[in-house]
Structure 1
Amino acid sequence: MGAPRRVVRRDPATEVRLFWAALPTEGRWLLSTVAIQTLGRGLTLPFTLIYLHEVRGFELGLSGTLMALIAVVGFAVTAPGGALVDRYGARAVLLVGLVAMIAGNLTLAFATTPAVAALALVLIGFNFGVSWPAFNALIAAVVTGELRQQYFGINFALVNLGIGVGGVIGGLFADVDRPGTFTAIFVGDALTGLVPLALLLGPLRHVHGRAGVPEDGSAPVSVGYLTILRQPAVRWLTLLTFVGTFIGYGQHEAGFPGFARQAAEVSTRTVGLAFAVNTAVIVILQFSVLNRIKGHLRTRVMIAMAAVWAVAWGLLGLAGIVPGGAVAVAGVLAYMGVFALGETLLQPTVPAMANDLATDHTRGRYNAITAAAFQGGAVAGPVVAGFLLEHDLAAAYIALMVAGCVAIALMALVLERHVPAAANGRPTAPEPVR
C-alpha cells in the first residue's frame, strides 16, 4: 500500500487509550453517544417495509414506493443541505434534521393512511439527506490531523454496533400480530433522537461548525458546486465513491439477499446471520485496521479495499455455483465477513480525504458531494441487481461486481496523481520558522 512513514505499532487497547486521550472534549462527547443514536435506527431499519405492508395493510408495491421516498428526498436535499452547512453551520443544520427525524418517526408510528406515512418518510428522508454532510462537517471541525481518519473509522464501527444491536432488539420485540410493538419501536427510534439533540443544545452548543471570518475582515469567497467539481481530485473521489457504493452498500438491500436466496439457495436465517457476521467483523476489527493503515497512502488503502471486495464477491459467486448446501452457506457467510473487512478500509479513508480537500468555508459542500455520490450508488445498485437477477443472469451479476472492484483500484491510482499529499494521508513537512 505504498511506502509508509515509520509508525509505531501498539496493541489495540493502548491505541484506544491514546486515541481517547488525544481527542478534544467535544470529540469525546460526539463519539460517546453514537451507538445510542443509531440503536433507534436499527430498531426500525429492517422492519419498516414489513410494518407498512403487514401491519398497516398497504399493498407491497405501494409500500416499496413509500420506502423509496427516503432515498429520493435524501438525494434531493443533500446539495442544499451542504450549502446551508457552509452558511449557517453544521450544528444548526443537524438540529433541524433531528427535529424532522423525531417528527417523522412519531408520525410513522401512528400512520394509518398512505398519505400520512408518505409525510413521515419525507421527514425521515430530509434528515437523512442533510445530516450526513452536517455531521461529517461537524466532526471535521472538532477533530483535525491524523485523529480525523481514526475518528471516522471508529464512528463507523459504533454506527454498525448501534444498528446491529437495535436490529436484534427489534427482531425479538416486533410482532406483526401485535401492531403496538411496531408503534413502540418507531417511538423508540424517535426517542433516541433526543440524545444528539440534547448534546447539541447542551455540551456542544458552542461548536457551530461554521468557518469564521477571515483575519483581514473580508467576506469569504463563495464557492459553488461546479467550481468544486472542476477539481480532478474531487471528480475522481466522487466517481470512486459512487462505484464503491454501487458494488457495495447498494447491493446489501437487494442484490446480496436476492443472489443468496435465488442463486445460492440458502435460508433467510442464513441471510440474517450473514448481516450479523458483517456487523461483528466491523466492530471487532475496525480499530486494529486503523492501526495497520496508519501512515499509508489513502489511495493505496482504497486499492487494498478493492482487492478484498473482489475476493468477497468471488466467495459469493462460489456459493452460487454449488447452491443449497453447506458450501453455499459458508460462501454466503464468508462473503459478508470478508466484505466487512473491506468496509473497515473504506470508511476511514473517503470521508477523511474529502474533508482534507475542503476548506473551512466549503466543508459542507464537499461532504454533500460525497453523500450524493453514495446515495446515487445506493439507488442504482438495487435497480441493476434486480434486473440481472430477475433475468437469471447471476454469473453476469458477480462478474459486474468484480469488474467494479477493478475499476475502483484503477480510479484510486488516477486519484493518487491528483490529490494533494496531505489529503492522501501523508502530511507535508512543516516549513521552518523564519
Structure 2
Amino acid sequence: MSSSSSPPALRLSLRSFWAVLPREGKWLLSTTAIQLLGRGLTLPFTVIYLHEVRGISLDVAGTLMAWIFVVGVLATGPGGAATDRFGARAVSLFGSSCQLVGVAILAVAHTVPQAAAAMTLMGVSGITWPAFNALVASIVQGSIRQTYFGISFALVNLGIGVGGIIAGAFVDVHRPSTFTTIYLLDAASMLIPIGLLLGPLRHIHGRAERPDDTDGQPASYWRIARQPSVAWLLLLTFIATFVGYGQMEAGFPAFARQVSGASTRAIGWAFAANTAVIVLCQFVVLRRIEGHRRTRVLVVMAVVWATAWLTLGATGLAPATMAATAGVILFHAFFGFGETMLQPTVPAITNDLAPDHLRGRYNALSAAAFQGGGIVGPVVAGVMLDHHLGSAFITMLLVGCGVVAVLAMALERRISPVVNGIRPSSPSTYAKGAERAHDDRAAH
C-alpha cells in the first residue's frame, strides 16, 4: 500500500477515536454487538429450523432463504429513494420494524405460507442496510468514518459469533420451544435500534436538501450509476462479493465437505476462526491502513483472499486428513483478515463519493451490487461443485481475485485522493472531517 506525497494521516488510538466520535456515533457503536447478538442466535440455524423442526423440505427451505435476498434486492431501489426523501432515520425505523415482525412470525410459523410471509418482511428489512450507512455517514464525518465502519464490522461479528455459540449450546431439534425462544429473542433485539432512533437519535433525520446549484433534473439511479467512479466501484463490489461472501456460506462449506473431506465440526471451527481474526485484527488493520489509498488496501485484500482460496484448494490434495482440516480452518482465518480490509474501505468510498442529498441512493446501489454478488455466487458454486468441478471452481475464484485487484487500480484513476482516503494531517481532520472532492460528485 502506498500513500500520496501529502503528510501522513494521524493514526488514532481506540481512546482518541472514541474521544472525537460524536455523541450520536457513540450511541450507535456502543450498542452494535448487543443488537447483533440476536441475529447470531438464529443465523446458523434457519435452514435446520425450517427443515428439522417445522418439517419443511430442504428444497423449499432453501428457496425461502433465497427469497429473502430476492425481496431485498427489489426493495433496495425504493428504499434508497425513500432515504433521500424522508431521511435515513425514518427508513431505518421502518426496516427495523419489518425485521422485528418478520422474525417474530417465523418463531411461530408452522406452514410454508407463514414462513414465506416472515421471509418477505425480513427481505424488506434489507432497506435498513443502506439507510443505516447513510445515517452513520450523516453523523460521522471525515477520516474517522472509515474507522467507524471498520470497528462496527468487528462488533457485528463479535455479536453474531457470541450469539451463535450461545444458540449452539441451547437449541435442540427435539425441543421446538428452544428455537421459538431464540427467534423471539432475535426479534426483541430489534427493539434496541428502534429505541435509539426514537430516543437519543430522534433529532437525527439523515436527510439533506438538494443544493441550489444542481441542474434540477431527477436524481435517477441510472444517472448515478453511469458516472465512471460509481460504475467501477459497483463492478468491484459485485465481483468482490461474488468471490467472497457469495462463496463463504455456500461454495466454501460444499467444497470443504465434498473435496476436502472436512467434518462439520471442522467447518464450525473455521467460522469461529473467521470471527476471532476479525475481532482481534480489525482495529490493528484500521491503524495500518489509515493514510493509505483505499484502492491499494483493496488490492492487498484481493491477494489475501487469493491466498485463502489457494489454501482451500490445496486441501483437496490430501482429503479427510488433519492437514486438510487445518487448511479448511486456515482458509477462514485468511478470509477474515481480508474482510478487515474490505469492510472499512468500500462503505467509506461510497459515502465520500455521495453528495449529502443523494446518500441514500448511493448506498442503495452499493447494497444492490453486494446482494447481487451474494445471489449469483452460491448458484455458480452449486452448479460447479455438483458437477465435481472443484479445481475449476478454485481457479475461477483466483481469477476473480485478480479481477478485483485490476478493478481497484482502475477505480483509483477515477476518484480523487480525498475520496481514496488521503487527507490533510491535522487534528481537525478527525474532529471536524475533511471536505469532499467536488469532481467526484455528479451535479444533480
| Same fold by TM-score greater than 0.5 | yes
Q: Within 5 A, what are the aligned runs for 1:139-154?
A: 139-154=136-151
- The residue type equivalent to 1:228 in the other structure is I
Structure 2 counterpart of 1:287: 283
* Equivalent-residue separation in structure 2 for 1:253 and 1:297 (angstroms): 30
Matched, 1:162 2:159: yes
Task: Name the structure 1 match of 2:2.
Answer: 2
Separation (CA, whole Å) in 2 of partners of 1:202 and 1:393? 53
2:172 to 171, 175, 180: 175
> Are the counterparts in 1 of residues 3 and 422 from structure 2 also a CA contact under 8 Å?
no
Q: Matches of 2:174 and 2:238 in 1, distance apart?
A: 40
CA distance in 2, matches of 1:225, 1:8: 34
Q: 1:218 to 1:318 in 2, by over 3 A?
A: closer
Cα-Cα RMSD: 1.7
Match of 1:416 in 2: 412
2:86 to 78, 85, 88: 88
Within 5 A, what are the aligned runs for 1:111-260? 111-128=109-126, 130-212=127-209, 214=211, 222-260=218-256
SS of 1:424's partner is: coil
| Amino acid in structure 1 at the alignment position of 2:385 | L
Please say if 1:398 is aligned against 2:394.
yes
CA distance in 2, matches of 1:402, 1:209: 40
Q: Given that residues 80 and 363 in structure 2 are in contact (C-alpha distance below 8 angstroms), is that contact kept between their aligned partners in structure 1? A: yes
Residues 347-376 of structure 1: CA deviation (Å, up to 9, x unaligned)? 100000000000011100000011000000
Which residue number corresponds to residue 38 of structure 2? 40
SS in 2 for 1:140: helix
Q: After TM superposition, what 4+ stretches of structure 1 lie above 4 angstroms from structure 2?
A: 216-221, 428-431
TM-score when normalising by structure 2:
0.93
State the Cα distance separating 1:222 from its structure 2 match. Answer: 3.4
Letter of the 1:184 partner, please give it.
Answer: T
Deviation of residue 113 (structure 1)?
1.0
CA distance in 1, matches of 2:230, 2:339: 21
Structure 1 unaligned regions, length at least 5: none
8 A contact 1:105–1:187 mirrored in 2:
yes
Q: Distance in 2 between matches of 1:149 and 1:89?
A: 22
Provide the rounded CA distance (Å) in 2 between the counterparts of 1:262 and 1:25.
50
Would the aligned equivalents of 1:83 and 1:364 in 2 still touch at CA under 8 Å?
A: yes
Name the aligned partner's letter for residue 189 of structure 1. Answer: D
Q: Is the 8 A contact 1:220 1:361 kept in 2?
A: no
Distance 2:254 2:109 in 1: 29
Q: Given the alignment, which residue of 17, 20, 24 partners 1:19? A: 17
Q: CA separation of 1:177/1:220 partners in 2, compared to 1, >3 Å: closer, same or farther? A: farther
Residue type of the partner of 2:179? Answer: F
Match of residue 327, structure 1, among 308, 323, 327: 323
TM-score by structure 1 length? 0.95
CA distance, structure 2, for counterparts of residue 247 and residue 361 of structure 1: 32
Secondary structure at the counterpart of residue 341 of structure 1: helix
State the distance in 2 between where 1:220 and 1:342 align.
Answer: 41
Deviation at 1:321, TM superposition (A): 1.4
Q: Distance in 1 between matches of 2:217 and 2:94?
A: 26
Name 1:297's counterpart in structure 2.
293
1:140-170 residue CA offsets vs partner (Å, 9 max, x unmatched): 0000100000000001001101111111111
Change (3 A) 1:182 1:220: farther
Separation of aligned partners in 2, 1:401 and 1:68: 22
Partner Cα separation in structure 2 for residue 38 and residue 258 of structure 1: 26
Give the alignment of 1:91-102 within 5 angstroms: 91-102=89-100
Deviates more, 1:302-311 or 1:219-228: 219-228
Structure 2 gaps of 5+ residues are 426-433, 436-444
Distance across 1 between alignment mates of 2:420 and 2:29:
24
